[in-house]
C-alpha cells in the first residue's frame, strides 16, 4: 500500500461513513458523501496542515465515492490525484481528473465528484478572498467578477508541471519535518508563489493579466526606483518616495505590487542587501562585514545577518570568505 502523505498531520482514519463526512466537512464544507457499489468498503483518512491563506491536505476514501458539496463558497480547491482518478463537475464543466490532470474547483459554482476506488489525492485549499486579492494585486485593482478557472490543469508540461512540482515539494518538506507554510514572511511568499502558479492555469481573467503584464513600466514607478537607488544608504519613508514619484503612497504601493510583486520599502531593503552581497563577494582580504553593512545603511548587525541569510541562504561571514576581527564577527552574527 502506498504511504500516506502529510502523515504527522493526521485528522482521522475511519471506516465509518458518517464520521468521515463530518470530519472532512469540518475543514472544507458540508457535503453529501456516499459509497458507490455493494462491495465498496470505506477506508477514509484526511491529513491537514493549515497555512496563512491556504492549507495542504491528503485525502483517500479507499472506496468508490460520490462527493457533492454544492458551492464551496469560501475557498478554491486544487486537487492533484496521486493514484486513481475522479470525474469532476464544476458548474457546466465535466471532466476526468487523473495523475496527469489536476482539478480546480471554483467556489461560486456547484460541484459534484465521483472518486474512483483507490484514489489518493493531495489537495490545496485556498481562501476565496486570498485568491481574489492576489489577482487584484496583479491587475492593479479589484475585479468586478469572480475569478473562474477552467479545468482540468495539464500536469505533464509547462506551468501545470511546475505547479505540481511546487506543491509536491511543499508536501515533501512537511514530511521531512520542515513545514514551509505557517507563520512568517517567507511562508507568505511561498504561498504567493502557489497562488501565482494557479493563475498560470486557464481562467476568465487571462486576457486582462496578459495586457497588464505587457504594459510598460509607468513613469512614477521609474521615478520611485530611481529615488530609492539614490538613497540606499539612508533611512527613507514611503511618503518621501511617493512624493519624489509624484503619486500617493497608496498608489505607489499598488504600482510596486503590480509590477514588482513587492512593496517600495521591501524593494529598498532587497536592493541594499543585493549591493551588500556584491560587495562581500568582491571584498579584498581584511574587509569587515560591519563595514559593508554600514556602507549600505544596516546599523543593527544581528538583523542584517538574519535578513542576509533569509535572502541568500548563508551568512555574510560565509560570503566574505576571509578572516576578519573577532569582535566584528560577534557583531555581525549576534
Assess whether pLDDT exceeds 70 at residue 243: yes
Cis peptide before 264 (omega within 30 of 0): no
Q: Find how far residue 96's CA is from the centre of its chain.
A: 26
How sure is the predictor about 251, in pLDDT bands with cuts at 50, 70 and 90? Answer: confident
* Pairwise CA distance, residues 5 & 117, whole Å: 18
β-sheet with 32-35: strand ranges across = 32-35, 65-71, 110-115, 86-90, 93-97
* Pairwise CA distance, residues 278 & 272, whole Å: 10
Span 179-231, pLDDT tens digits: 999 888 788 889 989 999 999 999 999 888 876 665 556 788 888 888 898 88
Span 264-283, pLDDT tens digits: 988 898 888 988 888 888 77
Q: What is the pLDDT of residue 327?
A: 34
Q: Please answer whether residues 123 and 83 qualify as being in contact, where contact means their C-beta atoms are separated by less than 8 angstroms.
A: no
Q: What is the pLDDT of residue 103?
A: 97
| C-alpha cell of residue 146 | 469572480
Tell me which of 317 and 70 has the higher pLDDT: 70
Tell me which of 324 and 69 has the higher pLDDT: 69
Q: What is the pLDDT of residue 172?
A: 95
How sure is the predictor about 40, in pLDDT bands with cuts at 50, 70 and 90? Answer: confident
User: What's the Cα-to-Cα distance from 298 to each of 172, 201, 266, 270, 329, rounded to whole Å?
Assistant: 36, 41, 14, 12, 15
Identify the structural domains of the chain with CATH numbers, from first to last. 7-208 (2.60.120.10), 217-334 (1.10.10.60)
Span 111-127, pLDDT tens digits: 999 999 999 999 999 99
- Taking residues 12-28, what's their average pLDDT? 97
Q: Which of 168, 163, 171, 167 is nearest to 202 (CA)?
A: 163
User: What's the Cα-to-Cα distance from 8 to each of 4, 56, 167, 179, 327, rounded to whole Å?
Assistant: 10, 12, 17, 11, 43
Q: Please answer whether residues 121 and 79 qualify as being in contact, where contact means their C-beta atoms are separated by less than 8 angstroms.
A: yes
Residue 283 CA neighbour count, 13 Å, CB half: 26
Assess whether pLDDT exceeds 60 at residue 329: no
| C-alpha cell of residue 83 | 493514484
- Taking residues 304-312, what's their average pLDDT? 86
Q: Please answer whether residues 141 and 257 qualify as being in contact, where contact means their C-beta atoms are separated by less than 8 angstroms.
A: no
Q: What is the pLDDT of residue 239?
A: 92
Radius of gyration of the chain (CA): 24
Assess whether pLDDT exceeds 60 at residue 6: yes
Span 124-169, pLDDT tens digits: 999 999 999 888 877 777 888 999 999 899 999 989 999 999 999 9
Partnered with residue 47 across adjacent β-strands are 10, 58
Amino acid at each position: 500500500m502506498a504511504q500516506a502523505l502529510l502523515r504527522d498531520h493526521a485528522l482521522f482514519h475511519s471506516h465509518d461513513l458518517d464520521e468521515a463526512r463530518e470530519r472532512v466537512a469540518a475543514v472544507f464544507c458540508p457535503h453529501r458523501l456516499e459509497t458507490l457499489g455493494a462491495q465498496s468498503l470505506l477506508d477514509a483518512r484526511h491529513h491537514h496542515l493549515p497555512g496563512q491563506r491556504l492549507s495542504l491536505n491528503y485525502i483517500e476514501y479507499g472506496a468508490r465515492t460520490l462527493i457533492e458539496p454544492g458551492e464551496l463558497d469560501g475557498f478554491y480547491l486544487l486537487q492533484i490525484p496521486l493514484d486513481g482518478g475522479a470525474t469532476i463537475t464544476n458548474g457546466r464543466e465535466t471532466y476526468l481528473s487523473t495523475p496527469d490532470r489536476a482539478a480546480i474547483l471554483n467556489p461560486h459554482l456547484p460541484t459534484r465528484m465521483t472518486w474512483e476506488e483507490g484514489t489518493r489525492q493531495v489537495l490545496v485549499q485556498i481562501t476565496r478572498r486570498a485568491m481574489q486579492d492576489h489577482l487584484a494585486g496583479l491587475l492593479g485593482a479589484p475585479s468586478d467578477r469572480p475569478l473562474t478557472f477552467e479545468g482540468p490543469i495539464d500536469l505533464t508540461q509547462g506551468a501545470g508541471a511546475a505547479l505540481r512540482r511546487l506543491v509536491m515539494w511543499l508536501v515533501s518538506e512537511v514530511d521531512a519535518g520542515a513545514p514551509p507554510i505557517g507563520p512568517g514572511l517567507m511562508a507568505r511568499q511561498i504561498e504567493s508563489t502557489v497562488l501565482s502558479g494557479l493563475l498560470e492555469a486557464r481562467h476568465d481573467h487571462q486576457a486582462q493579466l496578459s495586457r497588464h503584464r505587457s504594459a510598460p513600466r509607468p513613469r512614477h514607478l521609474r521615478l520611485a526606483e530611481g529615488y530609492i537607488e539614490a538613497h540606499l544608504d539612508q533611512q527613507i519613508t514611503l511618503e518621501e518616495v511617493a512624493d519624489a514619484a509624484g503619486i500617493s503612497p497608496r498608489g505607489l504601493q499598488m504600482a510596486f505590487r503590480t509590477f514588482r510583486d513587492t512593496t517600495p520599502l521591501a524593494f529598498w531593503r532587497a536592493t541594499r542587501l543585493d549591493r551588500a552581497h556584491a560587495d562581500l563577494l568582491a571584498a579584498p582580504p581584511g574587509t569587515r562585514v560591519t563595514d559593508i553593512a554600514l556602507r549600505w545603511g544596516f546599523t543593527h548587525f544581528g538583523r542584517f545577518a538574519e535578513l542576509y541569510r533569509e535572502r541568500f541562504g548563508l551568512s555574510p561571514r560565509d560570503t566574505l570568505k576571509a578572516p576578519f576581527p573577532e569582535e566584528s564577527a560577534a557583531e555581525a552574527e549576534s
